[in-house]
Amino acid sequence: MNTLILIPARFASTRYPGKPLVDIAGKSLLKRVWERCVPVLGKEKVFVATDDQRIVDHCEEHGMQWVMTPDTCLTGTDRLAAAAEKLAADLYINVQGDEPMIQPDDIKKVIDLAEQTPGEVLNAYCAIETEVDYNSRTVPKVVFRPDGRLLYMSRAPIPGTKKADFVRANKQVCIYAFPPQALRDYSAKAEKTPLEELEDIEILRFLELGYDVRMVPVSGSSIAVDTPEDVERVLKALEA
């Protein structure tokens, strides 16, 4: 299959403006993510999808391929769909631009399964190890059927007990696999779907459109950068 990795990068992040270019131990967040993607398919198959000239200039400076997308994209997946209109492929892998600790082997695992299940939408996940992450409203929690298909995803602490104890849970890891038709169906919506809007979790639009989402277990190395405090978590992980 002709597979591309796309990294959506938006400068005007609502929670953390300028996030893609924030410095993490001498490299931008975006460059760290790109460096995790390149070993999987080679740099000729990795593109940054953005709407901001500052990010384009940064890509040019560091030899990263880029594609310009509209500044009206509702989500990173909408941005991916816009990029897909310019970059033909059989399979699009979305690696979020805020995952600097993503392991190349995890990206490859998602690609391998996507090639075995053509036409399906895939999303990665891993176990939650701490009660802090379980209760965090910046960490999307995942519940799925025994066959691995997504039931629901929420920023609330799910699954829960009557006593609200943390027993076990899983969190989303922002590696996705999209076939072209799924992206076209997704971006055909002019506004967010109700649960997607309420939770601010873009993958929920696929569920609301009637798509199954197959969840893929990956390593627990992921640390998503949603706030300045998360940068400190990444720095500590790099030091370790």
Tens of pLDDT along the chain (240 residues)? 899 999 999 887 767 778 889 888 889 999 999 999 999 999 999 999 999 999 999 999 999 999 999 999 999 999 999 999 999 999 999 998 888 888 999 999 999 999 999 999 999 999 999 999 999 998 999 999 999 999 999 999 999 999 999 999 999 999 999 999 999 999 999 999 999 999 999 999 999 999 999 999 999 777 778 777 888 888 888 887
**pLDDT of res. 13:** 74
b/e burial code for range 87-126 (CB count within 10 A of at least 16 → b): bebebbbbbbbbbbbbbeebbbbbbebbeeeeebbbbbbb
Number of structural domains (the chain) is 1
**pLDDT of res. 239:** 82
Instruction: Give residues with Cβ within 8 angstroms of 164, minimum separation 6.
Output: 157
- R_g of the chain computed on alpha carbons: 17
Inter-residue contact 62 to 153 (CB < 8 Å): no
CA atoms within 13 A on the CB side of 86: 14
For residue 35 the two structure tokens come to 């460096």
What are the phi and psi torsion angles at 50 (to 5°)? -145, 170
Strands 3-9 and 91-95: parallel
**pLDDT of res. 232:** 84
Instruction: Provide the domain limits for residue 129.
Output: 3-239
**pLDDT of res. 213:** 98
**pLDDT of res. 172:** 95
As a whole number of angstroms, the distance between CA 95 and CA 4 comes to 11
CATH assignment at residue 132: 3.90.550.10
